[in-house]
Structure 1
């Protein structure tokens, strides 16, 4: 590197310290100190030295003009081969160490490894251009997680529990949002992005994450595959997910800088503080976040918050009236009993789907079941283990469900006979308690209609209810013993014809007339 002695002398004459000169000109302090000592010992006026050219100055100060510029053989060789070395560094498996070993084989008296790497880095920094990005107000929100974690204390054990810290930034105004979450899982990423929207008071056109698994299922250079739930979240808020390119951190450089600000403005000011839960930790984080956004930016006349209100807030889309409800997915096979399992609880499915694969879409309140993208049924979420949730409309072949349907049919048949019969069978069902026995008794009672007729059946049911006799045996006993006919005599005051009329039967009048004839004789 060419030492500019005139710059050193001017800085020294202006009153700058050796340390300041070294820092501003990027020259070692010992070199600056040596030139200043030579200048003081010469006794030559500064104006005279400044009129000399660089070559005479270097001769006067006892230094070579610059080995590199005068054509050092080592330097020329390295300069000729550096473009090739930089190109080969892009190949997989090629390292700076392997290139340096190759260089030493050709130039045993060459530069040290440190100098070799320094020249490589200088060449790459000079030759690789850096683009400028114009950030449009309300267009994108960059998101990322900090590399270093924070900790909360477990209330029961006192152990330190690590938590992730989420960072989001709107690049146009550079307003920033931080939040601590339990992990980088999908549900916590969605929750943090949603809270960021509500903090900013609106929704940008796109969310720009890196290619973490909770956001991107399959990274790709052109069209990466977005996680279904994260894509559903973006649809709910009317935006899209636009991941940064793989291994291209400069695509969202501002959020990388926001993470550095997080370490400086939040982490450093929370040293020594202890938090027992995420809520308390996030309250403290939010306090420092608001302070950062309200403080004026470096070399700017405005703060992040002022810039956001001025140019970006009105460009954001309006928040929807409801928050996004994150739903989880599970693929399951319908079992032979026509149920699917979720967290050891069983939900009914129509019988025609037995053996098919279905998809369960569930949240804290509901479980939706789909078959080939067609909605089948919805259940209320129930996490009680080893219990069943069923719908009567599915008509499953379960014992209790079958009895329930059978009893409905029995009541319908009894109602057609007479409401008294229906009422009696309902009382029998209550008395029997066990559903299977109630169904069996009800079927037997209905069969009595064919044996004894409609009228006697109705009357017998009425007698049984008045006598509090509930059951098939009790009702059959009434009919067999003709208790219904005796009841009828008491109610009507006349004897019924117990024997049917027939032309072959002589009757009581025949025997009474024979007795009269004998008495006359």
Structure 2
């Protein structure tokens, strides 16, 4: 009589005999999936003959539809499937049948990406937003989540920024490279306006700021093809993982600043990178540190500053007016009337003409003038050098009395010295066209009366000159002592 153990032995011997006829090793055989093993050892029998497949095949349309919904994952659907049908397929076999079903519906030949360590970095914004509460106003502020991914190791990064504008996008990339502690040769963004001005299949027009960033860090920007999500499928997958491993754990927490939110996001991203990957004996972080980190280019020695450029015309006052700052910056006077290119960062303003830099200024926000002496013509320099000391010195060169007058004038009123500059110019003009004695006399009279105005000195000079002219006339035509036509006082008696 044949026992149960004898039946097991016979089954084992049967499989051993079949294996010996195969042209493959044990290692290769163990890598085969269950359907392939079924076909190999059952001599061409149908791969799916058990009841599990009959049940699972009926569920495939539903599972395919559910996978198209937001944040739904295969592991979640498998857990629901096992809860309903405990004797069903394991997770690996379940994924195999889903893939086979998808291939059967949409047959295609897609080249497998062969990634190189340190070559590419994929970046994108998540579709869903995160938020924090403004402590001063109580307003709930929604923010965008930037996600970056190194495809070779699947090492991920995420940070929240106020918007998807170019400045925030550039800032996020700089923080990503700081997190990676290195730079990839290529950055692959989506065709968002922050990175690409005009999308094109063959030669997209890169945003100027993104171009400057690439020049600073030493990478090139190669946007994904429009409407081709498979070009950046890994970062798309990272976005899904960020939803599960960052959004979900933080969903019940309330944050009161963007910095506080980003600190929590970074903690969750680190946990995500340190989590062991399915079917691999290592984590993303371990793989990155051991294989990819050393291949990244070093970070630049200086931090990147966002720079803007514009074209302006040099005005008659030797300045260009930067409307964003409401401020004037001087340019050499030889370039008055010419169009110049202005490149400005957070700290500097640089002016270029025909590719040559002609002026550099520290950037200042707010109305005012940033002037350099060497930019002005000689007469303009003389004008801008005016000061109380300058006028006192000029007056002293002409007359000690005039210098005393200027000093008393500057001290006569509690007003800024600039109030008297035009008056000084007028008095110095009078000094040039008036005899020294007359000018000093007029100044002494003005000082005696405490009158330090140009008009007063001018009137005194006019009176002095008129009196001197009268005396001169009288000396030329003196009155006679006796004359027959003069009647005298006794005439009326």
TM range (shorter): 0.5 to 0.7
Equivalent residue number for residue 55 of structure 2? 22
Sort the Cα spacing of 1:121 and 1:140 in 2 relative to 1 into closer, same or farther, 3 A: closer
Separation in structure 2 between the aligned mates of residue 215 and residue 192 of structure 1, nearest angstrom: 12
Pair 1:203-2:203 in alignment: no
Separation in structure 2 between the aligned mates of residue 390 and residue 427 of structure 1, nearest angstrom: 32
The match for 2:347 among 343, 360, 365 is 365
Pair 1:251-2:231 in alignment: yes
Separation in structure 1 between the aligned mates of residue 236 and residue 287 of structure 2, nearest angstrom: 20
Equivalent residue number for residue 172 of structure 2? 192
Aligned residues: 374
Separation in structure 2 between the aligned mates of residue 140 and residue 345 of structure 1, nearest angstrom: 41
The match for 1:313 among 293, 307, 330 is 293
Equivalent residue number for residue 171 of structure 1? 151
Tell me by how many angstroms 1:204 deviates: 0.9
Q: Is the CA contact 1:461–1:475 (under 8 Å) kept in the aligned structure 2? A: no
Secondary structure, counterpart of 1:178 in structure 2: strand
Q: Deviations over 1:51-79 (max 9, x none)?
A: xxxxxxxxxxxxxxxxxxxxxxxxxxxxx
**TM-score of the superposed pair, with normalisation by structure 1:** 0.60
Unaligned runs of 5+ in 2: 1-43, 61-100, 465-493
Equivalent residue number for residue 438 of structure 1? 421
Between 216-225 and 350-359, the greater mean CA deviation after superposition: 350-359
Secondary structure, counterpart of 1:305 in structure 2: helix
Equivalent residue number for residue 303 of structure 1? 283
Matches within 5 A, 1:255-294: 255-294=235-274
Q: Is the CA contact 1:414–1:446 (under 8 Å) kept in the aligned structure 2? A: no
Separation in structure 1 between the aligned mates of residue 452 and residue 381 of structure 2, nearest angstrom: 22
Q: Deviations over 1:486-512 (max 9, x none)?
A: xxxxxxxxxxxxxxxxxxxxxxxxxxx
Matches within 5 A, 1:144-163: 144-163=124-143
RMSD: 4.4
Q: Deviations over 1:6-34 (max 9, x none)?
A: 5555x4xxxxxx557633xx3569xxxxx
Equivalent residue number for residue 207 of structure 2? 227
Q: Deviations over 1:255-310 (max 9, x none)?
A: 11111111111112122222222111111111111111111111001111111111
Separation in structure 2 between the aligned mates of residue 232 and residue 182 of structure 1, nearest angstrom: 22
Separation in structure 2 between the aligned mates of residue 155 and residue 239 of structure 1, nearest angstrom: 40
Tell me by how many angstroms 1:214 deviates: 0.7
Separation in structure 2 between the aligned mates of residue 448 and residue 173 of structure 1, nearest angstrom: 85
Q: Is the CA contact 1:428–1:442 (under 8 Å) kept in the aligned structure 2? A: no
Separation in structure 1 between the aligned mates of residue 165 and residue 391 of structure 2, nearest angstrom: 54
Q: Is the CA contact 1:448–1:476 (under 8 Å) kept in the aligned structure 2? A: no
**TM-score of the superposed pair, with normalisation by structure 2:** 0.63
Equivalent residue number for residue 345 of structure 1? 326
Q: Deviations over 1:124-158 (max 9, x none)?
A: 632x2011121111111110111111122233443
Unaligned runs of 5+ in 1: 12-17, 30-119, 482-521
Pair 1:448-2:431 in alignment: yes
Q: Is the CA contact 1:142–1:208 (under 8 Å) kept in the aligned structure 2? A: yes
Q: Which has the larger radius of gyration?
A: 1
Sort the Cα spacing of 1:401 and 1:129 in 2 relative to 1 into closer, same or farther, 3 A: farther
Separation in structure 1 between the aligned mates of residue 400 and residue 298 of structure 2, nearest angstrom: 62
Secondary structure, counterpart of 2:215 in structure 1: helix
Tell me by how many angstroms 1:471 deviates: 6.7
Separation in structure 2 between the aligned mates of residue 416 and residue 434 of structure 1, nearest angstrom: 20
Secondary structure, counterpart of 2:106 in structure 1: helix
Secondary structure, counterpart of 2:118 in structure 1: coil
Separation in structure 1 between the aligned mates of residue 236 and residue 278 of structure 2, nearest angstrom: 17
Q: Is the CA contact 2:325–2:364 (under 8 Å) kept in the aligned structure 1? A: no
Separation in structure 2 between the aligned mates of residue 451 and residue 28 of structure 1, nearest angstrom: 112
Secondary structure, counterpart of 2:131 in structure 1: strand
Q: Deviations over 1:104-125 (max 9, x none)?
A: xxxxxxxxxxxxxxxx986663
Secondary structure, counterpart of 1:164 in structure 2: strand
Between 371-380 and 307-316, the greater mean CA deviation after superposition: 371-380
Tell me by how many angstroms 1:202 deviates: 0.7
Q: Deviations over 1:174-215 (max 9, x none)?
A: 110011111111011111111010101111111111111110
Q: Is the CA contact 1:407–1:439 (under 8 Å) kept in the aligned structure 2? A: no
Q: Is the CA contact 2:312–2:320 (under 8 Å) kept in the aligned structure 1? A: no
Q: Is the CA contact 1:429–1:435 (under 8 Å) kept in the aligned structure 2? A: no
Q: Is the CA contact 1:429–1:438 (under 8 Å) kept in the aligned structure 2? A: no
Secondary structure, counterpart of 2:211 in structure 1: helix
Sort the Cα spacing of 1:8 and 1:247 in 2 relative to 1 into closer, same or farther, 3 A: closer
Equivalent residue number for residue 113 of structure 1? none
Sort the Cα spacing of 1:263 and 1:461 in 2 relative to 1 into closer, same or farther, 3 A: same
